[in-house]
C-alpha cells in the first residue's frame, strides 16, 4: 500500500547512544517532515524538507540532525540521546508548496532513552 514507512517501530537507547530513524514515502511527494509527540504537548515540528536537497529547522531542532537522502527518504539522527528525547516520532509527507492537501503520516517510532 502507498504511504509513509517508518523504521524501527520501537527502540530503547541508553543515554549518549546514537541512532537514525528512517522514513520513506512512495507517493512522489516533494515535502517531508519530522514531528515528535509528547503527552499534553501535541505535535511539534523538529525538521522539515520542503523539497529534495533542502532542509530547515522546525520548532524543536536541538539534539537532532536530518538528511534528505533523495526524494523518497528523509532520516532523523540523534547523535547523543538524552532522556528528554523519549517520545513518539512521526514522519509525514505532503505535495509540494501547499498545505491544502494536508499530510500523510507514518505509523510512528516509539523511542525510550534510559
**Does residue number 34 form part of the binding site for other proteins (CB under 8 A)?**
no
**Does residue number 12 form part of the binding site for other proteins (CB under 8 A)?**
no
**Does residue number 11 form part of the binding site for other proteins (CB under 8 A)?**
no
Nearest CA to 21 out of 56, 52, 47 is that of 47
**Does residue number 90 form part of the binding site for other proteins (CB under 8 A)?**
yes
d(CA 80, CA 87): 15
Nearest CA to 108 out of 2, 5, 1, 3 is that of 5
Which range, of 18-26, 60-68, 69-77, 105-113, touches other proteins by CB under 8 A?
A: 105-113
CB of 102 to other proteins, least distance (A): 5
Site map for other proteins, 69-88, x if CB under 8 A?
--------------------
Which residues have C-beta within 8 Å of that of residue 32, sequence separation ≥ 6?
Answer: 23, 25, 48, 49, 68, 74, 91, 92, 93, 94
Which range, of 16-24, 34-42, 69-77, 79-87, touches other proteins by CB under 8 A?
A: 34-42
Amino acid at each position: 500500500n502507498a504511504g509513509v514507512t517508518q523504521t524501527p517501530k520501537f527502540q530503547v537507547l541508553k543515554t549518549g547512544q546514537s541512532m537514525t530513524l528512517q522514513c520513506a514515502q512512495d507517493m512522489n511527494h516533494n515535502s517531508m517532515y519530522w514531528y515528535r509527540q509528547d503527552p499534553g504537548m501535541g505535535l511539534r515540528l523538529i525538521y522539515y524538507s520542503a523539497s529534495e536537497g533542502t532542509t530547515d529547522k522546525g520548532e524543536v531542532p536541538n539534539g537532532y540532525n536530518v538528511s534528505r537522502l533523495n526524494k523518497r527518504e528523509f532520516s532523523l539522527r540523534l547523535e547523543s540521546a538524552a532522556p528528554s528525547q523519549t517520545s513518539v516520532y512521526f514522519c509525514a509527507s505532503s505535495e509540494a508548496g501547499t498545505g491544502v492537501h494536508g499530510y500523510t503520516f507514518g505509523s510512528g517510532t516509539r523511542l525510550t532513552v534510559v
